[in-house]
Amino acid sequence: MHSFENTIQKLRSEGFKLTPQRLAVIKYMIGNKSHPSALAIHKELKRRYPTLSFSTVYNTLNMLQKIDEIRSIHVFDDHLNYDPNTEPHIHFLCSKCDMVHDIFLEQAEGIQVYAGEIDGHLVDSYELFFKGTCKDCR
Amino acid sequence: MHSFENTIQKLRSEGFKLTPQRLAVIKYMIGNKSHPSALAIHKELKRRYPTLSFSTVYNTLNMLQKIDEIRSIHVFDDHLNYDPNTEPHIHFLCSKCDMVHDIFLEQAEGIQVYAGEIDGHLVDSYELFFKGTCKDCR
DNA sequence: GTCCTTGCAAAAGCTTTGCAAATCC
DNA sequence: GGATTTGCAAAGCTTTTGCAAGGAC
């Protein structure tokens, strides 16, 4: 997700209809760095759109994922979280405050992830995340 | 998990009782490279132990995880899988056959994962897995 | 005998689906 | 107007828990 207009245009070009619910989810996710869960998104948006249903949020997130505008991350065992940044980057999960921080490769000295062929297997993508104590909790 | 005797001894020393159900799970996991889910383990073992309940398998897996004899991995969104190998290694998930392959760092040229401090965050552990097409499916 | 463990069943929680009513274009 | 989308409710799945009966030591 680069900009609101950009995402809207992509929806149109893929033949999806623009509904207030979808626009609300998109607005909420644009630039959002908190990696919210579907439930958290619904809870927050329901304050402004009381009739907004969870399944609509859920369906919208799946749709956005399908057209590559967001990605889901599973750093928690029991639910998925969503990230509007689909550029390759990694995540840091703090065991103390449960916050998920973004880390980009230029900040992450010593990390190098190969993409290509490993032990005969053809690699399409990878998931990497770290656990520990974040800078705010140290 | 290095050997049956080893794991048994660890159970004893930690004060856990040796029950046929626990021994069955341990025997099943020793050297198992298939990364089974809790349900799969139960399904398989139930053939030989018809009264074995799922919750016993589940509790046993949690206990083994607590004493660091197995680890759980979440390469799938909707369930956990278990690996008797607790040495640091990474996983490859095949999108075609859904099989999970082990990869050790010496086989994985180009991969380097830092453990220490990243962008101010203190790192305890990491999870890394690859997705793609495995050597058998290519 | 005592405490831990098992097995059954049900609860919990998130995710997913069915379908009539509403809405976008 | 036609097809998609919404909202509600319920189903699906895996994981987790409660508790009486059973078993290890």
Neighbours of A81 (CB within 10 A): 20
Q: What 3-state class would DSSP assign to A30?
A: coil
pLDDT value for A110: 85
Question: Contact A135/B118, CB-based, under 8 Å?
Answer: no
Question: Contact B131/A111, CB-based, under 8 Å?
Answer: no
The residues near B71 (Cβ < 8 Å, ≥ 6 apart) are B65, B82, B83, B85, B86
What confidence tens digit (pLDDT) does each residue in A6-46 have? 999 999 999 999 999 999 999 999 999 999 999 999 999 99
Which of A119, A125, A128 lies closest to B126 in CB terms? A128
Asked whether A79 and A44 are in contact (CB, 8 A), the reply is: no
pLDDT cut 90: percent of chain B above it? 87
Tell me the CA–C1' distance in angstroms for B131 and D20.
46
Strand D contact nucleotides, protein CB < 7 Å: 4-10, 13-18, 23-25
> Do strands A71-73 and A81-83 pair parallel, antiparallel, or not at all (unpaired)?
antiparallel
Q: What is the mean pLDDT of chain A?
A: 94
What confidence tens digit (pLDDT) does each residue in A52-61 have? 999 999 999 9
Tokens of A63: 């749709």
One-character DSSP codes across B50-104: TT--HHHHHHHHHHHHHTTS-EEE--SSS--EEES--SS-EEEEETTT--EEEE-
Per-residue pLDDT of chain B (138 residues; tens, 9 = 90+): 999 999 999 999 999 999 999 999 999 999 999 999 999 999 999 999 999 999 999 999 999 999 999 999 989 988 999 999 999 899 999 999 999 999 998 888 888 888 789 999 999 999 999 999 999 998
- Rounded CA gap, A98 and A5, in Å? 32
Question: Contact B126/A123, CB-based, under 8 Å?
Answer: no
Q: Does the nearest atom of strand C lie within 7 Å of A45's Cβ?
A: no
pLDDT value for A55: 97
Which of B107, B110, B121 lies closest to A112 in CB terms? B110
Scan residues 78-117 of chain A and list those with Cβ within 7 Å of strand D: 78
- Rounded CA gap, B79 and B76, in Å? 6
Give the residue nearest to nucleotide C3 (CA to C1').
B17
The residues near B40 (Cβ < 8 Å, ≥ 6 apart) are none
- Rounded CA gap, B119 and B66, in Å? 30
What confidence tens digit (pLDDT) does each residue in A66-122 have? 999 999 998 998 899 999 999 989 999 999 999 999 999 888 888 889 878 999 999
pLDDT value for A47: 93
pLDDT value for B70: 97
The closest of A100, A119, A71, A73 to B111, measured between CA atoms, is A119
Q: Output the CA torsion sign for B102, B104, B110, B113.
A: positive
Asked whether B61 and B82 are in contact (CB, 8 A), the reply is: yes
